[in-house]
Amino acid sequence: MNKNYKVAIIGGGSAGIFAAIELTRVNGFKPGEVVILEKNDRIGKKLLATGNGQGNLTNKNVSKDNYYGEKEFAIKAAKTVINANLPEYFYSISMPISFDKEGRGYPVSKQASAVLDILRERLFYCGVEVLTEFNVQKIQRVKDGYRLSSSSSEIFAKYVIAAFGGKAGKNFGTDGTAYSLLAPFNHKVTPLFPSLVQLKTEKEKIKGLSGLKEKAKVFAYDGEKCLGEITGDLLFTDYGVSGNTIFYLSAKLTDKKSPKIKVEFLPEFSISETEKLLNDKLKNSPFIKREDYLLGLLNKKIGERIIKNSNANTVKEIAYAIKNYYISVTGNTGFNYAQVTKGGIETSGIDEITYESKYAKNLFIVGEALNVDGDCGGYNLSFAISSALSSAREIKKRENIDNI
């Protein structure tokens, strides 16, 4: 094989697939002009797993606060997503979206597999070539474009879109090795951390609680600085904590020096209401033992653990302990279990509108490969897809193809 293309896309994940679709739709590039090079035996493997198989593609409430990485670029990333108007875009390619009450956008059928089917049909219809088991190992600049090589083949293209993802989720083909493809062009990689991941914690605070789930308001702290809060499920595990509260807060914690969480149990009661509950309980049952104070209010084992780990004796002190249960975070379960990579290609080398490299003309870098990560709730796919659309539109513009 030795073939020339107009555009080669490295990575058949969400960004790569949407870039190809945008390049070829409505009078765009012709069949055979765009190729996706994917190292897995099929494209879209990760997409199938997103949103627990339901495909949480976007979120209604996008703001700069949903993104992390280099601050200014993260702000621009939010703008990219807002400008892309993804719900309308998805509708235009026959993929209507509906939103849940938290603002998360899913395909109406709530099936990620249906999304992939729709995308693959369109790629086929538009004549996008898909070369699977093509692990790009080298990008070289040649006259009029780039040579992309795997261990056994090579292709040429005028434009390259690097959409090879990050380091999270090795099973899906993303192990962080692809960053080095861009090193010859002077692109640097920031320190990398897993994000949207379970947290490991000090043992004493979670002893005996593995498998228990409680609704709580959970706060993220770095030292004394509060970084955010969320109310939802907190799941105790044998290594630490998980659940939707932790996935959300992990985005704020995994790169911090002194991470800890504060758990406010009984979130539906204020501290004074909690005190009243306890006072009434003691009044009605004066025989109750200290370790049983929280029986009937919280899961028995959790209640006992809170009491055990505090010096609280009075009702006031116990109410305080319920609302201020601090747990030190000692680590996380790592990239293999993380949904997203925090960190990536330094954004100082990237044009924030077109996503073109500032060091290599006609080379674009999009999606999770960049030093941008988002909150849990559709923000990461939103950025991957929107940045891919931006790069594709710029390439079409350069080739005098109308962006309809």
Ligand X SMILES: Cc1cc2nc3c(=O)[nH]c(=O)nc-3n(C[C@H](O)[C@H](O)[C@H](O)COP(=O)(O)OP(=O)(O)OC[C@H]3O[C@@H](n4cnc5c(N)ncnc54)[C@H](O)[C@@H]3O)c2cc1C
- Using alpha carbons only, give the angle 281, 285, 288 rounded to the nearest 5 degrees: 95
- DSSP per-residue string spanning 133-193: T----EEEEETTEEEEE-SS-EEEEEEEEE----SS-GGGT--SGGGGGGGGGT--B---E
Closest by CA position to 201, among listed 261, 274, 142: 261
- Nearest to ligand X by Cβ — which residue? 13
Binding mask of the shown chain, residues 143 to 172, with x at each position contacting ligand X by CB under 6 A:
--------------------xxx---x--x
Of 315 and 388, which CB lies nearer to ligand X in the complex structure?
Answer: 388
Which pair of structure tokens corresponds to residue 371?
């030093």
Residues 6+ apart with CB under 8 A from 376: 196, 244, 247, 248, 251, 339
Q: Which amino acid is at 40?
A: N
For the segment 339-368, give every residue that binds ligand X (CB under 6 A).
339-340, 367-368
Q: Least separation, in Å, of the C-beta of 203 and ligand X?
A: 27
Q: Least separation, in Å, of the C-beta of 58 and ligand X?
A: 7
Binding mask of the shown chain, residues 271 to 310, with x at each position contacting ligand X by CB under 6 A:
----------------------------------------
Pairing of strands 34-37, 2-10: parallel
For residue 39, CA distances in Å to 9, 35, 116, 184, 311 come to: 12, 13, 17, 21, 56
Q: Least separation, in Å, of the C-beta of 259 and ligand X?
A: 21
Of 146 and 265, which CB lies nearer to ligand X in the complex structure?
Answer: 146
Q: Least separation, in Å, of the C-beta of 154 and ligand X?
A: 13
Q: Least separation, in Å, of the C-beta of 285 and ligand X?
A: 46
For residue 243, CA distances in Å to 109, 236, 254, 261, 303 come to: 25, 8, 16, 13, 19
Q: Least separation, in Å, of the C-beta of 319 and ligand X?
A: 37
Kindly tell me which residue out of 22, 33, 38, 70 binds ligand X, with binding defined by CB under 6 A.
Answer: 38
For the segment 40-69, give every residue that binds ligand X (CB under 6 A).
40, 45-46, 49-51, 56
Task: Please list the residues that pair with 98 across neighbouring strands.
Answer: 106
Kindly tell me which residue out of 245, 378, 394, 396 binds ligand X, with binding defined by CB under 6 A.
Answer: 378
Of 139 and 321, which CB lies nearer to ligand X in the complex structure?
Answer: 139
Q: What is the DSSP letter of 95?
A: -
Instruction: Give the integer Cα–Cα distance in Å for 145 and 163.
Output: 17
Residue 275: φ, ψ to 5°:
-60, -45
Name the segment binding ligand X (CB under 6 A); options: 8-16, 151-159, 252-260, 292-300: 8-16
Q: Least separation, in Å, of the C-beta of 10 and ligand X?
A: 5
Kindly tell me which residue out of 8, 15, 77, 131 binds ligand X, with binding defined by CB under 6 A.
Answer: 15
Residues engaged in binding ligand X (CB under 6 A) = 10-16, 37-40, 45-46, 49-51, 56, 135-136, 163-165, 169, 172-174, 178, 339-340, 367-369, 378-381, 384
